[in-house]
Structure 1
Amino acid sequence: FRHNEQSLRVVDLLENNGQGLNLNWEVRDGILNHSKSRGDILGEGWGKVNTLEGEVGKIADIVAYINHDIGDAIRAGTITERDLPLSAVELLGISHSQRINTMVGDIIDHSWAARGCDRIIVEKPTINMSPQILEATSILREFLFERVYNVHSAQEEARRAREVIFRLYQHFKEHEDKLPPEYRAYSDDTERRVVDYIAGMTDQYALRLAEELER
């Protein structure tokens, strides 16, 4: 399962009563290219992006999930603000809003060539960050991988989530009549219908539904 590909399926096929939203190619490229991989931000492992909209979507996803995941981890007690790498927060800011403002402002300042308004001729304008902000952002993301994403508690939660999803998948695959009517109309493939339904669930809804099925 790849969430960016599912997002594209939603806007192409599932929204608007199965008619899709008829989005242009640039917007669809932006949706397709938001991802949470561990490759270097803006580096060789960044992946091929075909449009400026795609680049905006991809870098905006980085800004969003780094900062929101920090907030979630602090609220969960996994980390504290004092645990954040000093070299990164001194440059980006200690608060959620400060970090987002710094990152977004830096991206705007270093992407003027993409507007065609820069006097310097660039062969292929890109959405970019300054080396200093890019390094600080990368430090924060690596911190999240080491202290939040890959710790035992997070891996245990991921295991439990997989079990919940598997139970839901098995149940609705065997009881297709329990799917909401709109999902039964999307595809002739039962497995695909079930995946579409589960992919649209919030965490809390999926957990609650799995508990109800066990009763």
Structure 2
Amino acid sequence: MATFRLTDRAAREQAEQQLAPGAARSTAGRGRARPEPEDPLRTAYERDRDRILHAKAFRRLKHKTQVFLHPDGDHFVTRLTHTLQVTQVARSLAAALGLNETLAEAIALGHDVGHSPFGHIGEEALDPYVPGGWHHAAQGVRIVERLEDLNLTWEVRDGVRAHSWKIDPPPTTREAECVRYADRIGYLSHDALDAVRAGVLEPGDLPARAREVFGEPGSQMVGAMIDAVVAGSLADGGRVVMAPGPLEAMHELRAFMFERVYGSEVAAGQKHVAIDVIRRLVEHYLAHPEQIPDSYRDADADTMTQVVDHVTGMTDRYALTTHDRLFGADATNLMRPLLP
């Protein structure tokens, strides 16, 4: 009796036909910007997932801020661990709803590759240099399309483009809608845990309604939120949505987190230091574009775009050490670390 059974691309594509009617099929997508020969074993979305996992921008996420600037503790969430948690939640949602898990996984893995150093504070620092403001989602698309030229499928690129609820038009696939919810589920739960770890919150500070509906931050809250999205989506029948009652509780929790955590002095740390570091780096490379590394040189882009590409690609620690080397400064020590 054979120990193994070959499950090649054709078999996997055939299995996709058993997914829910609203699921994306790798054989029915819009394809890639440049056509490629098919892989004998992997579907198109599986190849996209693997390309993102091997991308340099993905590896750099391990040293990029999620919420708390320059934490010393080993247990604070980084942009990489956030991404992995979002991926788990997105796959759980997709599996429960009969959607394409691999497409959801690929979008989730790539959703934050465009983030700057110092998280959303970095976005604020970069806004003056980009007409209409700088956003990590647009930078993520630029990375996968141009800077690393991953030649991903249209569905994955669209999901990266519109993973944020701020982006309009919204994503096209139901799998990308799963990632939108997974992102919010992930950060609300793990950021609350980090806030307790950092001393910003006490365990009982979260809104009573959120604790009643979702339980405590961590696995209990994540599980309850996943259940609420599954129930809401099945009731809606066409979209990935959270049930109305839990959705109101989630909005209340999110408003609380923005008031008490994301805007807190501890979460921001030395916000002015982070903004100053990024803007001084941008101004330096604008004055010395010959110092931009070859990997960020783009003959079709102007100098400002190439400079922003380079600076946003930096990790927190690389931005700090580069700043200190260029300016003979000590921003690294000025950035107050958290000591949980």
Q: For the superposition of Structure 1 and Structure 2, which TM-score range results when normalised by the shorter chain?
A: 0.7 to 0.9
Match of 2:158 in 1: 29
Residues 70-85 of structure 1 aligned to structure 2 (within 5 Å): 70-85=192-207
Q: What is the distance in 2 between the residues matched to 1:182 and 1:11?
A: 13
Do structure 1's residue 181 and structure 2's residue 294 form an aligned pair? yes
Of 186, 207, 222 in structure 2, the residue corresponding to residue 100 of structure 1 is: 222
What CA distance in whole angstroms lies between the structure 1 residues aligned with 2:270 and 2:151?
37
Relative to 1, partners in 2 of residues 1:153 and 1:191: Cα closer, same or farther, differing over 3 Å? same
SS of 1:138 mapped into structure 2: helix
1:90-133 superposed Cα distances (whole Å, 9 cap, x missing partner): 2212132221122123222332478xxxxxxx5xx110111222
Letter in 1 for 2:326: L
Take 1:66 and 1:48, find their aligned partners in 2: how far apart are those partners?
Answer: 24
The equivalent residue for 2:209 is 87
The 3 A distance-change label for structure 1 pair 65 and 36 is: farther
Deviation (angstroms), 1:83? 1.4
Change (3 A) 1:200 1:75: farther
Mark the CA change 1:138 to 1:53 in structure 2 (over 3 Å): closer, same or farther: same
User: Cα 1:72–1:210, aligned 2, differ >3 Å: closer, same or farther?
Assistant: farther
Change (3 A) 1:137 1:206: same
Question: Whole-Å Cα distance in 2 between the matches of residues 78 and 208 of structure 1?
Answer: 28
Partner of 2:321: 208
CA apart distance, 1:214: 2.3
Supply the distance in 2 between the matched residues of 1:57 and 1:192 (Cα, whole angstroms): 28
TM-score by length of 2: 0.51
- Unaligned stretches of 5+ in structure 2? 1-133, 329-340
Q: CA deviation at 1:31?
A: 0.9
What does 1:110-129 align with in structure 2 at a 5 Å threshold?
Answer: 110-112=232-234, 122=237, 125-129=238-242
User: For the structure 1 residues 157 and 187, does the alpha-carbon distance in structure 2 shift closer, same or farther, using more than 3 Å as the test?
Assistant: farther
- Unmatched 5+ residue regions in structure 1? 38-45, 115-121
Q: Which has the higher contact order (CA 8 A, sep 6+)?
A: 2
Task: Report the Cα distance in structure 2 between the residues aligned to 1:164 and 1:48, rounded to whole angstroms.
Answer: 33
Distance in 1 (alpha carbons) for counterparts of 2:317 and 2:253: 28
Higher helix share: 1
The verdict on how the C-alpha distance between 1:209 and 1:81 changes in structure 2, with shifts beyond 3 A counting, is: farther
- Which of the residues 275, 282, 286 maps onto 1:169? 282
- 2:169 aligns to what? 48
Which residue of 2 is the match for residue 145 of structure 1? 258
State the alpha-carbon separation in 1 of the partners of residues 241 and 165 from structure 2.
18
- Distance in structure 1 (CA, Å) of the matches to 2:298 and 2:230: 43
One-letter amino acid of the counterpart of residue 3, structure 1: H
Match of 1:136 among 249, 271, 281: 249
> Which of 100-109 and 128-137 deviates more?
100-109
Alpha-carbon RMSD: 2.5
What is the CA–CA distance in structure 2 between the aligned matches of 1:36 and 1:147, rounded to whole Å?
21
The percent of aligned pairs where both chains have the same amino acid is 40
- The answer (yes or no) to whether the contact 2:282–2:308 under 8 Å persists in 1 is yes
**3-state secondary structure, aligned to 1:83:** coil
Listed as ranges, the matches of 1:54-65 within 5 Å are 54-65=176-187
Question: Does the 8 Å CA contact 1:27/1:53 hold for their aligned counterparts?
Answer: no
Task: Give 1:53 deviation, angstroms.
Answer: 3.1
Give the count of matched residue pairs: 194
